[in-house]
Amino acid sequence: MDTFNEPYTRAGDDISLDQVRDQVRRLEDQHRANGVTLSGRIIHVCHYLPFAPTLTTSTSPARSGVLSPPATPPVVPGDVPPSPSSEVSPVLTQGQPQVEQVPQQPRWKLAPRYGHAAMISGIRSLSSTHDQLIIGWTGDIQSGADEERVIPSKSVDQADKDALGSELAAYDHGGEGDAEEERKITYVPVWMDDDVAHGHYDGYCKTTLWPLFHYLLWQDVATEHASADAHYEHYEQANQAFASRIASVLQPGDLVWVHDYHLLLVPRLLRAAVGEKGGDAVIGLFVHTPFPSSEVFRCLPRRKEILDGMLGANLVCFQTYSYSRHFTSTCVRVCGYETTPSREGGNGQKYVGIDVQGHVAAVSHCPVGVDAVRVARDTLRPGIQPKLEALRALYADKKIIVGRDKLDVVKGVLQKLRAFEKLLQDYPEWVGNVVLIQVTSPALSDSPKLERQISELVAHINGEYGSLDFIPVHHYHQTLKKDEFYALLSVADLGVITPLRDGMNTTSMEFVIAQERTKQSPLVLSEFMGISQHMSDALQVNPWDLGDVAAAMNRGLLMSRPDKLSRHQKLHKVVTTHTSHTWAAVLVKMLLGQINGRNTARRTPFIPKEHLMEHYEKAAKRLFLFDYDGTLTPIVKTPSMAVPSQDALTALERLTSDPRNIVYIVSGRDQAFLETHLGHIKGLGMSAEHGGFIREPGEDKWMNFTESLDMGWMEEVAEIFRYYTERTTGSHIEVKKSSITWHYRSSDPEWGQFQCRQCQDLLENNLAHKRPIEVLVGKKNLEVRPIAVNKGEIVKRIIYKNPDAEFVFCAGDDKTDEDMFRALQLFPSGSAPDLKATMPAPLSVTLVEKGAPKDKVVELAVAPGAVFTTAVGHSSKRTLASWHVTTPEEVVDHMLHLVGETSQGGSRAEVETKPSL
């Protein structure tokens, strides 16, 4: 989070559609030249398919006589009111004649599904450059015999499902008359049981997530006792159904875009569904709704499951920078994850990432627009002008304020009406001279209380300020036809769109385009919309401040012609530049930019037990090197509570009891801690303080590698650490014999990380270049140590002292363990199985052992395939290790397998829960 004043779009995105597509092509060519597999396909995963299927005929005898529930959601669904600009999909209008030409009656009839016009328009525009799949739920199946009846999903047999698949495959995507040649879109239906589908959508999505994302809690919108967890099981089952369906069609090199809050678990579930290959999947998640602050989101009981599901993606994208900042803050504060500094992706753009056990999910933003060309064309429809003239004649001597919103509490219709009343009260000259035409589209779920409140308020205003020949508020609760909608937008003297919280409201953009050929009237917008920064030349207001909104209305109605024109021209440029087509192309560019980036680094395979056992049994001498925290024991809230589990102790005791095994713990812990918890295991070697000290197996004396080093820098570092400790509540300093560490695990996570970076910058720029030290950023800590002391040097010493070892296993989980993995890169990539490695005397031998020959080189007995460097964490974790396991428990389980034991479970540590992506 570099700044709180980020631009609405990033540098490089404010360009033409053709330029974005050129960048996409160059990125794809670059990846293919580097050997990256790209299929040229984009898979879009949406809650619904863009049409509603009706089953006209069926061979299933079970359907007759079945009573079905009413359609929920209706045939015209969506999270926003169906925009009259949401024209019938060209896929359908073009495909429909093909169906009619079939001699016999088709089994399925497909009708357009309104809503989400901007998203579907953007997706379709990508067909000019990519093959595409759209995966979505079928929705309720309507009966062809009775349009009011819904056919239960269990009554649709496999033959019917196959027939729908054939109908979908028969559609030719084609294109509009003025569009470039387009490729075919493949539609893939997701089938779900009715209870799962409606529990998912009507339950968890609409009663829990939708209110939460709009700063309402479930009890604020429920009509009866509310439970935030009531339908989570259905939400999870539905997301699993989507993930399984994607996995069934996924090919190497596909790009996957998952859309909106209905499917937040899909990224993680998809990776799990495709197994180890899931690490190679390139997945983006775009959230079309707002994302609330961490203090609101943390109220959600399933907050961690939702966040972990989202973080399974390579890129999580939002409408605005503020939403992405809220998400980043929530991941840090609620889950304790760390952010990575801003970095460049493959497309040169900077991204902040969330690190989840080595898997880094980039976070960014990209605004959605409308299909400006189509909207402009729709405003020229011949049916609009007569309606426009009729409205002008009806209100010939009055100013017209227009509002159109869904009948939903977050749309702020009540507040808008009260602000209009405030206008008539504070500016009485407008009484009899201005009217408000407010259209409220029916919501997906009835809200009789809100509808009653609006009706009562309208009646109050009309009664207070109206007369026999003047009605100030005209309220219409209905869905407008397209001609009526554009006539209303075109005739307005002022548009007022003031939701209490909203994502990307397309009506405001359509208003600007509709005004291009008429009055260029101004627009009053709520500052709580995702689009507010995008349209800074609108009159922006706080919808809760009725006086502010009334003043803005008055200003808009009195605005001079030059001011109107200037503002309109700027808004029109924004709306026609940042379109839905540009949005879709930028999403592709952003996702391509994650390939070969930090969060799609070389995938390390999971280490198979059988493969490990095969080499273990063949070796006459084996060497084991273990980190402690995060490798043998999970990371814990209090470092002193990181005690080994009984399984870990059993594994170490059994390994050290075999005379053919040499076992070392190579840890950052001090000597006292290691002796307290592991000192009783005979034959266990230990290295403390990141290689500063070593105790050989079977000995009691520790060898100090820092005795010959200049350690005068420690007091200087301690002074700097004390400065930051005083200013960071919950932080503390840990002083060891060879290093000093500043811990901030118990501090406010964001403040602690900020202070850590400030301290790191101070140390690196003012001290590190003058002293023989290095600064290391760990897990919620900052450590300074001598430059010649690290785990890698100790590992070299151990290898040098045991050249006859034929099997080496080394496991670690963080940045300091990469020194061990680097030291064990004994062979070049692709080495022959019989290649022998040699090792010169390391510093950890020549500095400590007097008289040790500095030029002695030893030949190692280990073969290339018998060195098992193993990182603990996600397979996409950036590491030099050759293998990976996901958790410390899996490290211990592999060791127990080698010695013929099984896990007994249980741990003595208070563990911080870590996800398994």
The C-alpha atoms of residue 867 and residue 805 are separated, in whole angstroms, by 10
Determine whether 853 is exposed, middle or buried from the number of CB atoms within 10 Å of its CB (0-12, 13-18, 19+): exposed
Determine whether 272 is exposed, middle or buried from the number of CB atoms within 10 Å of its CB (0-12, 13-18, 19+): middle
Contact 142, 71 (CB under 8 A): yes
Catalytic residue among 308, 502, 627, 817: 627
Q: Active site includes 627?
A: yes
Helices marked H in 466-539: 482-491, 506-514
Q: What is the β-pairing status of strands 622-626 and 807-812?
A: parallel
Q: Which helix (H) or strand (E) holds 332?
A: helix 321-335
Calculate the alpha carbon distances from 497 to 403, 483, 511, 553, 687 in Å: 6, 20, 10, 11, 66
Half-sphere exposure of 780 (CA within 13 A, CB side): 23
Sheet arrangement for strand 150-151: 108-112, 51-55, 141-143, 150-151
What tokens does 573 get? 């440029």
My answer on whether omega of the bond before 61 falls inside 30° of 0, hence cis, is no
Helices marked H in 427-481: 448-465
What tokens does 752 get? 């602690």
Sheet arrangement for strand 255-259: 185-190, 131-137, 41-48, 255-259, 282-287, 315-318, 359-365, 350-356, 338-344
Q: Residue 166 has what DSSP assignment?
A: H
The phi, psi pair for 250, rounded to 5°, reads -70, 135
Q: What is the β-pairing status of strands 399-406 and 434-441?
A: parallel
Please list the residues that pair with 473 across neighbouring strands: 436
Identify the three-state secondary structure at position 353.
Answer: strand
Identify which of 158, 197, 599, 550 has the alpha carbon closest to the alpha carbon of residue 361. 599
Identify the three-state secondary structure at position 440.
Answer: strand
The C-alpha atoms of residue 75 and residue 85 are separated, in whole angstroms, by 17
Handedness of CA 832, 834, 835, 839 (dihedral sign): positive
Cβ atoms within 10 Å, residue 680:
10
* Contact residues for 406 (Cβ-Cβ < 8 A; gap 6+): 80, 81, 440, 441, 442, 443
Contact 803, 837 (CB under 8 A): no
Calculate the alpha carbon distances from 630 to 643, 686, 735, 776 in Å: 11, 17, 21, 17
The C-alpha atoms of residue 208 and residue 212 are separated, in whole angstroms, by 6
Residues with active-site annotation: 627
